[in-house]
Amino acid sequence: MRIALVTDAWHPQVNGVVRTLDTVVRLLRDRGHEVLVISPDQFRSIPAPSYPEIRLSFGRASTIGKRIEAFGADAVHLATEGPLCIQARRWCRRKGRPFTTAYHTQFPEYLAKRTKLSPRMFWPYIRWFHRKSEAIMVSTESVRAQLRSERLGHVHHWSRGVDLENFCTDAPPPQAYEQLARPIQLYVGRVAIEKNIEAFLDSNQPGSKVVVGDGPALEGLKARHPDVHFAGRQSGRTLAGYYAGADVFVFPSKTDTFGLVIIEALACGTPVAAFPVTGPVDILTEDSGAMAANLNDAIQRALTLDPGACVAHGRTYSWDASASQFFSGLVVQDLRPHGHMSRRFLAKALFARV
């Protein structure tokens, strides 16, 4: 099957969306599918206001459409709500091509954090972008319910996974941990205002706080919190060691739809403390994490949990299953003059050919 994936989030960006797309694309290719990725690095771009690490790319609808047609795509997926996907959506609508979309981020809340406007100001755009898709891929039941409340009921479940060979309990912790007072409380992710990291850094639990990641808020947080250990961007086995050697993983974000870092921490045997919001409420169990409106309370309770239960829960998330869920949600164009097939039947038929 030939799949055209259009996305405004791609390398060199480092975030959960890019990791998800990159992993699923690789697995689909391993299964024999052909995947065309249309991404920001292929077009003229400018830095996003207040977030220069993210580039906004401006390809014309006709240019994107020609690439999709030349590729001979059976299915088109628009991964994000940015300018490239807007143009791809425009081309699909003009040509009568079915397409799917995904809701990766609490986009209205994300923009509200940066503009100081109400999240309700941005929901009309979200409804416009997704309403004409054949299916909106969502990672959790909370997001499914939220979109349904916004009159976007055509949703398809697409969960996330963990690289279990890398994220495991035997990953060696960093040497820096030897000098830190216990308990070590860890944050991993983008260092940006929408991640609500201040709520973690302002918590008053004894021990040490560690922040792994990079982003536009990094220098400001360093200046305001000199006692925090900022480790910068980490990846692979080194990142796994930061998880495995910590006593608790703290997830303060209220704008994520899932939180890949949560299940990575669990797979490494590290319990999670979080607010009771979308993502944590869908992932965490009483044995693997603690949620509370007061983050101090959540951290305190998470420190009492059994690492073995965390590992068991984290290992239930599979990238293979995630790739299968993504594939089953795709909608394939039926090119026959008067024919009609369900998307499930079409996907099965095309899958059988490869």
Q: Distance between CA atoms of 180 and 171, rounded to whole angstroms? A: 18
What confidence score (pLDDT) does residue 111 get? 83
In this structure, which amino acid lies at residue 331? Answer: V
What confidence score (pLDDT) does residue 78 get? 98
Q: Which residues contact 218 (CB under 8 A, 6 or more apart)?
A: 191, 230
- Cα torsion for 271, 273, 276, 281, to the nearest 10°? -20
Q: Give DSSP secondary structure letters for 125-152.
A: HHHHHHHTSS-EEESSHHHHHHHHHTT-
Q: Where are the domains of the chain?
A: 2-161+319-353, 175-314
Q: What is the mean pLDDT of each run of 10 residues along the chain (354 residues)?
A: 96 92 98 97 82 78 98 98 96 98 90 88 97 98 96 97 97 97 98 96 97 96 97 97 98 96 98 97 98 98 98 97 98 64 47 40
What confidence score (pLDDT) does residue 56 get? 79
First-to-last C-alpha distance (Å) of the chain: 7
CB 172 within 8 A of CB 195: no
Q: Which two tokens stand for residue 254?
A: 């209220």
Among the listed residues 203, 315, 338, 217, the one whose alpha carbon sits nearest the alpha carbon of residue 265: 315
> What fold is seen in the domain 2-161+319-353?
Rossmann fold (3.40.50)
Q: Which two tokens stand for residue 216?
A: 């536009």
What confidence score (pLDDT) does residue 112 get? 87
What confidence score (pLDDT) does residue 338 get? 47
Q: Distance between CA atoms of 91 and 151, rounded to whole angstroms? A: 24
Q: Distance between CA atoms of 279 and 277, rounded to whole angstroms? A: 6
CA angle centred on 30, ends 28 and 34, rounded to 5°: 55
Q: What architecture is the 175-314 domain classified under in CATH?
A: 3-Layer(aba) Sandwich (3.40)
H-helix or E-strand containing 251? strand 248-251
Q: Which two tokens stand for residue 262?
A: 């949560």
Q: Distance between CA atoms of 294 and 276, rounded to whole angstroms? A: 10
Q: Which two tokens stand for residue 54?
A: 């993210």
CB 130 within 8 A of CB 107: no
Among the listed residues 278, 283, 291, the one whose alpha carbon sits nearest the alpha carbon of residue 313: 283
**Global pTM?**
0.91
Q: Do domains 2-161+319-353 and 175-314 have the same CATH topology?
A: yes
Q: Distance between CA atoms of 321 and 62, rounded to whole angstroms? A: 34
CB 233 within 8 A of CB 213: yes
Question: What are φ and ψ of residue 45, in 5° steps?
Answer: -145, 165
Counted residue by residue, the chain has a size of 354
Q: Which two tokens stand for residue 185?
A: 């409380």
What confidence score (pLDDT) does residue 344 get? 47
Q: Which two tokens stand for residue 219?
A: 């220098």
